[in-house]
Chain A
């Protein structure tokens, strides 16, 4: 088996390079979207619907003239006139029985009807942000209220309020994977069947950088120049083109720093499209910066899936079949990334880490009077892993088995990789039994009872839970990833990429890969992402789906080696030898034959040293086993995570510091969802009850997590030459199951839904007491 730790491939990697972008960012020299300004810019403010579902009878904006500096008001009429009525959507595959998705129009400003609280009713443009805000309050909208439906189950029920005339029953799409008959057969013949429904709750990403844009009409080509937080220029340009029916090359998207993405910045939003209408009409740049309340209301939400898992086991506790029934609440419209990621990703990993001969998944998409749901760190993979890891624990509880033992009996053996699943995907490589054994030993799984007794002495409830997961990462929607590398006369190396860090440290990790290939210090390598002059000709994926190190990161290696080859040819002339007689080492070309040498910098003064490397990559399959131990104060319901251990396989690691940072952030993001984060709408009125951090429970440093240890158990991927597996999301994927398993164990219940706030935990304890 191709398994080894801390490969020697990267000399620099072992040296724990601190992040090259840190000084710029922490000294306030980053350039985020709201840092872009144009001298003659105007400001936009959006009037949003204060009700969940209503017909717009009239919009009266006569009074805005009272406010000095108001330049214009735009409504659904302007949206209609512009023709900007449909956002791009990546849900292009066929559904159940070949059905085609019914994708509703999403005009950039609501036409005739509002469908969720926060829907855009009008946009005011003014000389100042304040004037635009004041004017918005003077617009009088008359609504004819309609009944709203917030719950996805209710939305699909007969007689539910209809969001879109063209989508009867609020059901735009249904899909399936695997073989239903074989699973039905396995369930009917099973020695034991465990069925569990879990609510993988609706949350929001809350990046530190709010949504913002500066948008200018480009009179030279009839297109637009845009600065806005994005996860990659190309995907953003493609969506702008999709929304406006203009060609992609009409959009110049210029981005420098992005303060958090999480999938939420993969979407092109209607605000930007509305601003384009005004920028063109007024021939002046338009600026907008979202408030935090607007972020809650109008930035895409994540997760929002109700999943029922039915697991069939034989008399030896071997899994014989798994059925997944998945209801996904997409909000009032279909976001570009939501439905596709919530169906495709779980279909790829429908059996989790287990050898299950019969698999079937059924996916139903529902529309509700709520904000749209889109990809959110993991995008369907944490959800499926959570459902599976929970149903396995529930089965262990019912069979009175050690959950670790039940897993051990069912892991896909290491020698069966590459493993073809019953839904047709191929897991590349993993050592699940080895990984899990290492985690169990490090977490002292067998010593838990003693720790539980010690907690009980202090009056605390202690629980332990594990979660072993695998997921698909890395493959993108573009045919290849490109990196352009050039050297200047000072010997400084610049690499261009169309990937976009939102905090993933590409400037450091890309530089480390190139530094290693070229044998020059990282400080002499500059990474530029999303340069608009390059983006128009470079092909490559955005940063999402944990794909950037697998794709663009690996291509840094390929391009650097191509640069050496190109340099050898160019240097041969100066060295007076054939290219084959040139060797390269540490920034210098030399020849034994002519005993001459020339540095990269010297060569760059004479010749153009610039190459583009490329590569195409399939999915990689990072995997891991996480073990959480929780301690609950039964008097208040407050939970401490007494210990959290992760053993992960993300193949070859370029920077352990960066990987640990990603793992830590992803686990804490999972923890946030488990213990507090929750977007809640009032079921009757459709008002959002969690539109500020006063009600939306973000995790805080030191609040839950008392100890965290991260270890590795790598198997090298052959998807790319560096052996990397994409790991930006896998911590999230593993943590939901590990934490809720530990909580269920501590509380002595089969299942308890997130969010496990102190009040919910306390209530569960009271209910359990009442039953016992």
Chain B
């Protein structure tokens, strides 16, 4: 690790001021990506601004058909929350698939979304459900928020405060964990609302994306057979020693089929 200054923010405003004051500062929430990056000496922030104690970033609440989760909420809290389990059980299920117990006890939903790791789980839920990312400056629709590998719409000095998920009629998530890292090699989140079906695929490509052909097919008929005849376009998917892009396209489809089966209770 390189040396850095550690500061703890007591409020959202204080954190924002600190971010504005130090150009090379980084926010520290659960630290589940940041700390390993620092240990590998791959990042050299001047300051770490600890936001783990800020009250405005906590809380899980459902009102008027919307589930709101504070950015500082840990994966384990989402996984165990009775409110989440009732409103969007697939989201609680997803949270319980992230990393291992140690990661789930530290990592936060805001940290995961802000990092936008192409193999992270949460981005698929936010995109499929059509969540709104609320920052200290504005509200951003999930469709606009994710901008490819480790890239988001967040600007300088901007931090996520909470995430608002419109509660879908039904939702399901299925993931194929990478055999080494455990991250999603392909994960499919399906949500069904009055407005239609949305399918978001994580892990397989350079960033989370919607599989629109599957959305159309499943909009007509919500069963696994509906996606049997269509395929994820593999052209822009990831390819490495762990699998070809064709394999990842296949996994995206298989995970979608399994999510559909789960969603339709089959």
Contact = CB atoms under 8 A, between A and B. Distances in A.
Contacts of B41: 133, 137
Contacts of B242: 695, 757, 759
A257 to B, nearest CB: 24
Nearest to B100: A700
Nearest to B251: A636
B243 interface: yes
Nearest to A696: B180
Interface in A718-772: 757-759, 762-763
A636 B241 contact: no
Contacts of B21: none
Interface residues of A, number: 24
B79 interface: no
B241 A680 contact: yes
B254 A697 contact: no
A297 to B, nearest CB: 13
Question: Which of B179, B241, B247, B250 has its CB near the most chain A CB atoms (within 10 A)?
Answer: B179
B5 interface: no
A697 B244 CA distance: 17
A245 interface: no
**Secondary structure of the B side of the interface?**
loop
A293 interface: yes
Contacts of A637: 247
Contact of B40 (A293, A636, A695): A293
A744 B40 CA distance: 40
Interface string A284-299: 0000000001000000
Interface string A104-145: 000000000000000000000000001001100100000000
B179 A697 contact: yes
A689 B240 CA distance: 10
Interface residues of B, number: 17
Contact of B180 (A130, A635, A694, A762): A694
Contacts of A635: 250, 254
Given A293-B40, A762-B250, A763-B247, A693 B180 contact: yes
Contacts of A763: 244, 247
B235 interface: no
**Secondary structure of the A side of the interface?**
loop
A689 B254 contact: no
B39 to A, nearest CB: 8
A675 B1 CA distance: 34
A130 B181 contact: no
A695 B180 contact: yes
A759 B247 contact: yes
B241 A689 contact: yes
A30 B179 CA distance: 32
Contacts of A694: 180-181
Given A293-B40, A635-B254, A676 B180 contact: yes
A696 B180 CA distance: 6
Given A130-B1, A635-B254, A762 B247 contact: yes
Interface string A508-539: 00000000000000000000000000000000
B137 interface: no
A763 B176 CA distance: 16
Contacts of A689: 241
A429 B149 CA distance: 61
B86 interface: no
B180 A697 contact: yes
Contacts of A406: none
Contacts of A695: 180-181, 241-242
Nearest to A677: B180
B2 interface: yes
A184 B180 CA distance: 45
Nearest to A633: B254
Contacts of B243: 757-759
A698 interface: yes
Contacts of A133: 41
A757 B247 CA distance: 12
A757 B179 contact: yes
Nearest to B2: A134
Contacts of B176: 636, 758
Nearest to A136: B41
B57 to A, nearest CB: 28
Interface of B: 1-3, 40-41, 176, 179-181, 241-244, 247, 250-251, 254
19 contacts: A130-B1, A133-B41, A293-B40, A635-B254, A636-B176, A636-B251, A636-B254, A637-B247, A676-B180, A689-B241, A690-B241, A694-B180, A695-B181, A695-B242, A698-B180, A757-B179, A758-B179, A758-B243, A763-B244
Given A676-B179, A757-B179, 8 more contacts: A130-B3, A636-B176, A689-B241, A697-B180, A758-B176, A758-B179, A759-B243, A762-B250
> What 10 A-B pairs come out closest when comparing CB atoms?
A759-B243, A694-B181, A697-B180, A635-B254, A697-B179, A759-B247, A695-B180, A676-B179, A762-B247, A680-B241
